[in-house]
Amino acid sequence: MRNTDRTSSAQRTAARQLALSESAERTSHGVSFSLRRWIVTLVMLAGAVFWLLPVIWVVVNSFKLTPNIIRLPPEWVPWPITAEHYWQVLFSASRSARIGRSFVNSGIIAVGSVALVLLTSAMAAYPLARMRFPGRNLIFALLVGSLMVPNVVTLVPQYMLVQQLGWLSTFQGLIIPEAATVLAFGVFLLRQFFLGIPTELEDAARIDGANAWQIFSRVILPLSHPAFAALAIFAFRSAWNDFLWPLIAVNKADMFTLPVALAFLRGAYMNESYGPIMAGAVLSALPLLIVFLFANRRIVEGVQLSGLKG
């Protein structure tokens, strides 16, 4: 009897020791994981601050008086605050008056390019994803392969074509080439998204008597909002930031886009004041920042869902 009691007591003691060791191990593992997480967070915050410092510096200088911009040591809080540089860039009747017009030009070109890219990419991606016809895979391979061709390679023939059409210094001469640079990527993105839509939905629509166009417009398109939002943002960013093609295709000051006008603004004010240059840079980045803040979730959703099927 005593041996049985001693055995059970030893077993209980061993069980308690095992439980204590497991608890200590879990605690140690939890502390180690928490420490690693804090270290990673601090490193990422330091990287974010390091990346944001030039952006903050540009914004701060755009609100400073001209003598305070180059003052040493530098001041991170603008005082007194002034919007003089923004007024000078947008509304002044001086050499920088074209910035306001260029802002409007960039908006028209970016919106027009987005509309054209969404329309053409969707109508090209749907048959490549759902319809069976000879050469389908070859066409898709050529489209994907064109993504590897640098835009500079097609610059000269593109300029000659636009010149022969009489489209130099016109909106159509800027919108159509801008849309063409994103078309292949748009077809690829939307095709991958369309492949992830269940075919049962289309079969049900066919049973109800829908034709191919009705399936495309009433079934596929309403389900593709995330991919369309992601593609629209990519196309808007590409058209808004493009510098090389508008610089070559435009020879009238009132048709300059914002990146081109900012380059001329930099040359005009470099020896006098950085204030208008900083204000112009802030204005050029503001639309993209607003679009990203309101639609960043759509970007992630569209890219993730487009990669579900290949």
Q: For residue range 27-51, list pLDDT tens digits in order.
A: 555 556 677 888 888 888 888 888 8
pLDDT tier for residue 112 given thresholds of 50, 70 and 90:
very high
pLDDT at 116: 95
Which of 5-14, 136-145, 253-262, 291-300 is the least confident region?
5-14
Which of these CATH numbers, 3.40.50.620, 1.10.3720.10, 3.90.600.10, 3.90.180.10, describes 89-306? 1.10.3720.10
pLDDT at 272: 62
User: Is a pLDDT exceeding 60 seen at residue 101?
Assistant: yes
Residue ranges per structural domain of the chain:
2-62, 89-306
User: Is a pLDDT exceeding 60 seen at residue 95?
Assistant: no
What phi and psi, each to the nearest 5 degrees, are found at residue 82? -140, 145
Cα distances from 261 to residues 56, 98, 123, 162, 257, in angstroms, run 22, 7, 35, 22, 6
* 85 vs 156, more confident: 156
146 CB-contact burial (10 Å; exposed 0-12 / middle 13-18 / buried 19+): middle
The runs of H, that is alpha helices, within the chain are 2-62, 66-69, 84-90, 98-130, 136-146, 155-165, 171-195, 199-207, 212-215, 221-223, 225-241, 244-249, 258-269, 275-306
pLDDT at 310: 44
